[in-house]
Amino acid sequence: MEARVKTKRTKGISDGTETNAGRIGRAETLSVTVLSLISTGLFSAFEAGELGTGFAAVLTRPAALLLSLAPVLAAALTLRGNGETGLGETLRMGLGKAAPIAALPLAFSLTLTAALPLAEFTGFIRSFMFDSVPTLSVLAFVIPVFAYAALAGLEPEGRAACILLPLAAAALVIAILPAAHEFEPRRLLPFPSPGEAAKGVPAGVSLFLPVLSALLINLGGIGGAERAGRYAAVSAAVSAAVIFAALAALGLVYPAPVLRGMSLPLARIDFLSIKQSYALRLDKVLAMVWLAGSMLAQAYCVYSAARLMASSFGTPLYGPFALALSIAAGGLVLACENALGAGRAALRLYSRAGFLLPIPTLAAGALSGVLTRRKKQAPKRTPS
């Protein structure tokens, strides 16, 4: 009788194939990262510092995005010598059983970053599209799809992003072009002073730093730290340009005092025209296209958070974490939407200090990466 020999996988869990998360190439990586950055940058609610004096977000959000590159590129540099070992695996190798504690801040940031745009869409749908339906009813449709995408893994997300990114971009152009004849530069006044504009930067970094850090988590699926650094730089540059252009268009149509408290203003950018053409009544359709892109983009964030936690625990099975974090994201949307006093206070605190959250994880990962590389490079003692 022939013995059945099980082939043991010799590659590390960073390979990703055994978990069916997959590997993606340049186009998919850039698409999913750009989609996540643009979705987060354009569809997260503006904080008080971004609308204080003039529409500071036009400058602060792109600037915050480019600033967020620095810690990510620094961390990528320290992870370069470790092949395609991702951030979670590196933490596990360096910190052992303490790795999940180090991973938790970044995982929480990613989950909250995923919830913020969804909260905007949910608010728009329930208040503007339906007759005050409960948030839970809307989430009952959104969260299962979102969770499914997070569970599907990196490869399906990357490939779907290649399709959805051009659609979302086309929707952006279709929304903005008809409003062009209503642009008035005086609406951007008064320009905020550098000090006033700087108040909005921490909120922006809180949004973008976790998304860029997701590249470091998925090193095994995207081809290593060197590529991750390149992808981060290209994605940040492209996304910053798109966010600047879209927010500038918004600022040329609505002055800052009108934007305060307006949900999903990009969907209403054509409301200065009283013409009744079909092209000017696409706000809800466009919002649905953006929601589809945003669900995928935020699912990528939740998947990355799940992958980070699973790897830090030393297991390749990210599924339970993805499911739990998807439900947690839904809970965070409920907290934002129900306007609980504690929820709003927590959001304000996050917008001011949330950029600090991913730093401990990135720092621990960088340190672990250096230590692990040194351990590998140390000459092995051979028995005499």
Partner 1 sequence: MNKRRAPGPLPRLIAAAVCLLSAFAAGGCLKPVSLDVCGYVSAIAVDEGRDGEYYFTLALQRELAEQNIESEGGAILLADSGEDLFEAVTRMQGSVPYTINFTRANFIVVSRELAERGLLSELARLDHDRLHIRTSAAVMITQCRAYEFLGAMYSNNDADINKLQSALTLDGRRTGMVRLMPLSRLIEAERAGTSDFCTALGSRDPEIVTDMEQKRAEAEGKDPAENVSPGERVGGLKAFMTGTALFSGARMTGVLSRDETLFLNLMMGRLESGFISADTPKGRMTAALTNSSSRLAVRKNGEGLLIVLTVRVLAEPLSRPAELSRKEAEEFLQNELPAMLAERVDAVFAKLRAAGCDPLCAAAKAGAGGREYALSELRVTVTVKPAA
Q: Residues in the site for partner 1, rule: CB under 8 A? A: 7, 127-128, 131-132, 141, 184, 186-187, 189, 254-258, 260, 263, 268, 270-276, 280, 283
The CB-of-329 to partner 1 minimum distance in angstroms stands at 21
Residue type at position 251: G
Closer to partner 1 by CB, 92 or 268: give it.
268
Closer to partner 1 by CB, 77 or 288: give it.
288
Give the 3-state secondary structure of residue 156: helix
Intra-chain end-to-end CA distance of the chain, in Å = 43
The CB-of-280 to partner 1 minimum distance in angstroms stands at 7
The CB-of-67 to partner 1 minimum distance in angstroms stands at 30
Closer to partner 1 by CB, 47 or 270: give it.
270
Rounded Cα gap, residues 103 and 91, in angstroms: 8
Contacts of 245 (CB under 8 A, 6+ apart): none
| Residue of 115, 134, 120 whose CA lies nearest to 332 | 115
The CB-of-142 to partner 1 minimum distance in angstroms stands at 13
The CB-of-141 to partner 1 minimum distance in angstroms stands at 8
The CB-of-254 to partner 1 minimum distance in angstroms stands at 7
Buried/exposed code over 341-352 (b: 16+ C-beta within 10 A; e: otherwise): eebeebbeebbb
Residue 133, Cβ neighbours under 10 Å: how many? Answer: 12
Closer to partner 1 by CB, 225 or 259: give it.
259
Buried/exposed code over 62-86 (b: 16+ C-beta within 10 A; e: otherwise): bbbbbbbbebbbebbebbeebebbb
Closer to partner 1 by CB, 140 or 345: give it.
140
Closer to partner 1 by CB, 104 or 280: give it.
280
| Residue of 212, 180, 200 whose CA lies nearest to 71 | 212
